[in-house]
Amino acid sequence: MNQTSGKNALLTGATGGIGPHIARLLAANGINLVLSGRRADRLRDLSADLRSESVRIETATADLTRMGELKDLADNAVSALGRIDILINNAGLEEVVPYQRQAPDQIQATVLTNVMAPLLLTRILLPAMLARSDGHIISIASIAGRLAMPFGSAYSGTKAALSEWSLSLWMELQGTGVKVTTICPGFVTGAGMFARKGRDAPGSLGSCTPEQVAEAVVKALHSNKPEILVNSMPVRPLMALKSISPVAAARLGDKMGLVAFLRSLTKRPDDANHN
């Protein structure tokens, strides 16, 4: 029996990166969806693509860097489907760049999208879930939030905040009927930033596909796990080492090619003139 069939979900970041993959698998599992993103045309295209599923598909445009739009998004989602059983905080901004070159407005947008929007959307929708003693908050974080990511420090920092907030909330809500899960993918192939750059991470670091991330979201719905890691290589030993000795973990990450790989993604055409 499919326990998720007939549930209603709000999915942010539905049209970018792994968003469409999550949307398709949720719809295939009988979950009604409110798809949210910044571009109405892409939302329409994705919605049309999912019409063959026997579920309701609604769309809601929203810019999550504008805090005033969050309550409107939540209200529109509830109005469209009657209630929201599942909130999937998927929208995120990422940029690989030396921190001193990252624009202040990009840092602000990263914090607003990756941290503030999930926290505030959850705060808006959580009371109704608690009143029903049923609901699930799923946030797409990153292994970069569990292990430091050089040249992506703003992204890594926001995903660390998202992971720790999610775990804190998971502990707080035990026994309420509302579940909380963080999904932490490694380098995602075939979608997102690394796909746009046409680069694959070194094999020693591992990777995952968008489909595997989507499968982890569905797996989360059938469990009460606080965290699911999605990566082809085991990373918990490195996470454990980091908790004991951040320096040792950083050195091992460097030997595995992490720093060199990420530094290579920051190169600009004019960098040769600034040696």
Query: What count of other Cβ atoms lies within 10 Å of the Cβ of residue 259?
Result: 16
> Would residue 155 show up in a list of annotated catalytic residues for this protein?
yes
Using CB atoms within 10 A of its CB, is residue 46 exposed (0-12), middle (13-18) or buried (19+)?
buried
Using CB atoms within 10 A of its CB, is residue 104 exposed (0-12), middle (13-18) or buried (19+)?
exposed
Q: How many CA atoms lie within 13 A of 95 on its CB side?
A: 19
Rounded CA-CA distance 79/72 in Å is 10
Dihedrals φ, ψ of 13, to 5°? 60, 35
Find the catalytic residue in 58, 136, 155, 160. Answer: 155
271: Cα separation from own chain's centroid: 32
Q: Give catalytic residues, as residue numbers.
A: 155
